[in-house]
Amino acid sequence: MSHQNCRHLLGSLSDYVDGELADEVCAEIDRHLEECENCRIVVDSLRKTIYLYKVTSGPPSVPEEVRQRLYLSLDLEEFIERKANSEMGKA
Amino acid sequence: MNQEKRVEEFSLEALRAGNKAEFARLVEAYSGVIYRLALKVVEDPQDAEDVLQETFIKAYRALPNFDGRSSLSTWLYRIATNEALMTLRRRKSASVANTISIEEPSPNEDNEQEPIQIVDWCCLPETEMMSAEARAYMEKAIETLSPALRTVFLLRDIEGLSTQETAEVLNVSEVVVKTRLSRARMRLRELLSEYFGERAARRSTPEGENS
């Protein structure tokens, strides 16, 4: 029975880790996880997978030369230096 | 992760009127996230740069008609995602005549993947999970996802958009976003378990301690 149950819950695990499930479905999964080690491992490794991608994705940034070409393509040359100036101002 | 979410503090009036200083502020605020997204979707720095430029060129042209029904960020993400998917489509049609739609998951992604790797690797030290080699593997794992699954995963889990925002960006229902996100995450979990599971197993055996 439990294997059947695991399969039935699979599609809900992503919503489960996001906390987006209705209370009763969430409670059903909680109960199942208490007695099913395999599903616990799947849930833990699913959480870890999402976490790892989040923390390793790095800050949003544009290489300086790409940024310069972007400003040129947009005809915004006069604003290119803004960042450099403000950084120099700090130094 | 929400630190990257920007407060929308732009004057729509100035943007619609074509005010360059205001537009430059918008570019400064969003070019980083747009470039990061583009790079991960198209996997090529030159193509990502083209997507970045096209996104803001199109945005500048369309701003006078921006109705403000979605937020500026959602709107920019939508332009960028369309550009990136178009780049992939062009690349695909240039290489081989392929009729598979890149906006739909490939047939083998259509079913919920059953977990095959049931290995507990969560105990591995973070330094090992975040090594350069592990990061390169994780990048490769994303590349194995179809564009349809990859874009949902990137928007939700990397860019931190909500289900509703992601649905707006991709012009699909929230149910579709959730289903694709689930498939993408389960697939990545599978691939990471394969990789890290092996390392966790090596650690727990005495021979592994010397290697």
What's the pLDDT at A9? 85
Residue that the structure tokens 């650690």 belong to: B203
What does the pLDDT look like over A54-83, one tens digit per residue?
A: 999 988 999 999 999 999 999 999 998 755
Q: Are residues B71 and B156 in the same domain?
A: no
Question: Is B140 within a domain?
Answer: yes
- Whether B123 and B176 share a structural domain: yes
B7 CB within 8 Å of a chain A CB: no
Rounded to the nearest angstrom, the minimum Cα separation between A3 and chain B is 11
**Are the Cβ atoms of B31 and A62 closer than 8 angstroms?**
yes
In a domain, B27, yes or no: yes
Residue B100 domain-assigned (yes or no): no
More confident residue, B96 or A44: A44
Q: Do the domain assignments include residue B165? A: yes
B130 and A52 Cβ atoms separated by less than 8 Å: yes
d(CA A5, CA A11): 11
- Mean pLDDT, consecutive 10-residue segments, chain B of 211 residues? 56 94 96 96 96 98 92 96 95 65 57 75 89 95 95 97 97 96 96 92 66 43
Per-residue pLDDT tens over the stretch B84-104: 999 999 988 777 655 445 555
CATH code of B184's domain: 1.10.10.10
Any CB–CB contact under 8 A between A56 and chain B?
Answer: yes
Q: Given CB atoms, is A21 within the 8 Å cutoff of chain B?
A: no
pLDDT score recorded for residue B108: 58
B46-69 per-residue burial string, b: 16 or more CB within 10 A, e: under 16: ebbbbbbbbbbbebbeebeeeeee
Q: Which residues of B touch A52 (CB under 8 A)?
A: 129-130, 138, 192
Per residue in B162-184, pLDDT (tens digit) is 999 999 999 999 999 999 999 99
What's the pLDDT score for residue B6?
53
Based on the domain organization, do B75 and B115 belong to the same domain?
no
Residue B6's domain is classified under what CATH number?
1.10.1740.10
- Number of H helices and number of E strands within chain B? 9, 0
Give this complex's ipTM. Answer: 0.86
Domain that holds residue B193: 107-210
Number of other residues whose CB lies within 10 A of the CB of residue B144: 12
Q: Does residue B85 fall inside a structural domain?
A: yes
